[in-house]
Every structure is written in structure tokens, then in C-alpha cells.
């Protein structure tokens, strides 16, 4: 197992120096779900929320979240993202909104945190927009499922 990279020899937090790393194309994909009552799913699908189209607003929020990752997560590098895609899909059988985010760039560091942040912010937005009718929603299973590029190569979740 690798060592933690965000601490110096004395255990103090630091931003990793990436200046010697090669510029490569890097991508990362994260997923997550918001579980809810069947009536909430139905209301999302029929567009019955006063705040607007839940899935469209959450998609936009996820994109914005990816772009703001270094403002939210300490020690993350500000990145020049070249692409952020956020997809939301309703799964009626599971009473869920499933979220997938893929971030991409050409740079010296990966975009895993941006993809995870995009999913998290999109999920929180779904919750916010639907909480008036369903406070028992659960945000679950947010995780990295794929990353490519850089020295460590490719990772794909089982």
C-alpha cells in the first residue's frame, strides 16, 4: 500500500508538488445514488417540483461543483478542466436517482476529486430540491469507478 501524499515528514499537511510530473490526459468517473420514496420518484419524473426540473438543476450543480473543487477540498490543485459530464437517471425499480460524473483534462494531476465532488453536489441538489416532500432520502454509494492517466495508470472498480 502506498503512503499518504498530503503530509510532510513531520506530519504537517501540504499540497503535493506536481511540477515534475508529466502532462498527460487524465480522466475520472464517479457514481452515486439518492434513494427516495416512490412518490418522490414519480414527482421528479412528472416535473412536479416548484423549484424546477430536478435532474437538470442537479446536472448543472454537479458541473459547477467539479469546477469549484479546490475551493471546497483543502489541498486540491486548481485545475483547467477540459470536460465535465454529469448524467442523472431515474431508476424506478430502486426508487433512486443514479448519478455519474466524468471529468477530463490534460495536466499534471488527476481529476478524481472533481468527479467525486460533481456527484456529491448533484446528489445534495437532488436532496435540496426534493426535501419538502421526502426528508428521508439517502445519499449512498458515492465512489470512484474509473481513473486513467498519469504515472499510476488505470484504475477500474470491481
Integer Cα distance of 70 and 72 in angstroms: 5
Integer Cα distance of 107 and 143 in angstroms: 22
Integer Cα distance of 63 and 114 in angstroms: 9
Query: Among residues 53, 128, 134, 158, which one is catalytic?
Result: 128
Q: Which residues pair with 102 in a beta bridge?
A: 29, 85
Does the annotation count 158 as an active-site position? Answer: no
Distance of CA 153 to the CA centre of its chain: 20
Catalytic residues: 128
Amino acid at each position: 500500500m502506498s503512503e499518504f501524499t498530503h503530509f510532510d515528514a513531520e506530519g504537517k499537511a501540504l499540497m503535493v508538488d506536481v511540477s515534475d510530473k508529466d502532462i498527460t490526459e487524465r480522466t475520472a468517473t464517479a457514481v452515486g445514488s439518492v434513494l427516495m420514496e416512490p412518490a418522490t420518484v414519480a414527482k421528479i419524473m412528472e416535473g412536479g417540483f416548484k423549484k424546477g426540473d430536478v435532474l437538470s438543476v442537479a446536472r448543472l450543480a454537479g458541473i459547477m461543483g467539479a469546477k469549484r473543487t479546490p475551493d471546497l477540498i483543502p489541498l486540491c490543485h486548481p485545475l483547467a478542466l477540459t470536460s465535465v459530464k454529469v448524467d442523472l437517471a431515474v431508476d424506478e425499480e430502486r426508487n433512486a436517482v443514479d448519478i455519474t460524473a466524468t471529468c477530463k483534462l490534460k495536466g499534471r494531476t488527476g481529476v478524481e476529486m472533481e468527479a467525486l465532488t460533481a456527484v456529491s453536489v448533484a446528489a445534495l441538489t437532488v436532496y435540496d430540491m426534493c426535501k419538502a416532500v421526502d426528508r428521508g432520502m439517502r445519499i449512498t454509494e458515492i465512489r470512484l469507478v474509473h481513473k486513467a492517466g498519469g504515472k499510476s495508470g488505470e484504475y477500474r472498480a470491481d
